């Protein structure tokens, strides 16, 4: 056993400590993750703002910002990949008492190498498994893809999910991305037979506009919930609204 652990370290395969704790599914052996808890999340905190991790009693921590904010040299992925024990302890302290996470949103780009997009999805899965193994939090799997190629594997390993998350910040202003986004929602609803709830991260405070993207899900009796976040609150206040908006 010790020899095997030494070999894992020598080969920089430390992530196997996570991936070996779950099954792998699909063409690219994506680690299996699921969420069977129907959470009542009312706020999504941004990773780089720990002061908001407990903004409400039902706050969820999300990674919806530029990758350099959460995936730099001292990011959680590197802590896992290189088995940096002190750095992992720092993350455990940082995330102490967090109730909910959404899987890290490692950015995928349509004009990037598809191999890189696949790798980033794998990293998100590994980090999600690590959070599940090492914290008491519920981790909500994120559905994301950069293009139609990504749709082929974006749900691999998520077959049993009752709850998933989507990030609607990007597609709102890009017609091409919006089309891909809507297609990915339809595919998710059609393929995840146990799906009951979609959690949406959004920048717009216009819930009706966001819900239009999820029309197919709503028509198929999937509940769609849009928690607040700091950006939504700021946008609402700019328009003369109140801090607390109405969630769907």
Asked if residue 180 lies in contact with residue 213, where contact means CB atoms within 8 angstroms, the answer is no
| pTM of the entire predicted model | 0.93
Q: How far apart are CA 31 and CA 19, in angstroms?
A: 6
pLDDT digits (tens, 9 = 90+) for 63-101: 999 999 999 999 999 999 999 999 999 999 999 999 999
pLDDT digits (tens, 9 = 90+) for 184-194: 999 999 999 99
Tell me the average pLDDT of the chain: 93
């Amino acid at each position: 056993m010790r020899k095997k652990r030494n070999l894992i370290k020598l080969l920089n395969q430390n992530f196997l400590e996570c991936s070996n704790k779950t099954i792998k599914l699909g063409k690219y052996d994506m680690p299996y993750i699921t969420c069977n808890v129907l959470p009542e999340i009312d706020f999504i905190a941004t990773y780089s703002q720990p002061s908001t991790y407990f903004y409400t009693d039902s706050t969820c921590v999300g990674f919806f910002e530029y990758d350099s904010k959460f995936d730099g040299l001292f990011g959680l992925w590197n802590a896992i990949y290189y088995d940096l024990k002190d750095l992992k302890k720092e993350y455990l302290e940082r995330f102490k008492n967090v109730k909910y996470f959404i899987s890290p949103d490692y950015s995928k780009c349509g004009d990037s190498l598809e191999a890189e997009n696949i790798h980033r999805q794998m990293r998100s899965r590994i980090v999600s498994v690590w959070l599940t193994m090492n914290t008491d939090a519920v981790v909500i799997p994120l559905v994301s893809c950069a293009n139609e190629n990504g749709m082929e594997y974006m749900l691999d390993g998520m077959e049993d999910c009752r709850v998933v998350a989507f990030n609607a910040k990007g597609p709102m202003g890009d017609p091409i991305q919006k089309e891909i986004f809507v297609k990915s929602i339809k595919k998710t609803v059609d393929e995840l037979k146990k799906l009951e709830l979609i959690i949406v991260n959004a920048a717009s405070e216009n819930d009706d506009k966001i819900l239009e993207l999820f029309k197919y899900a709503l028509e198929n009796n999937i509940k769609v919930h849009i928690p607040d976040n700091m950006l939504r609150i700021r946008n609402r206040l700019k328009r003369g609204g109140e801090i607390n908006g109405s969630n769907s």
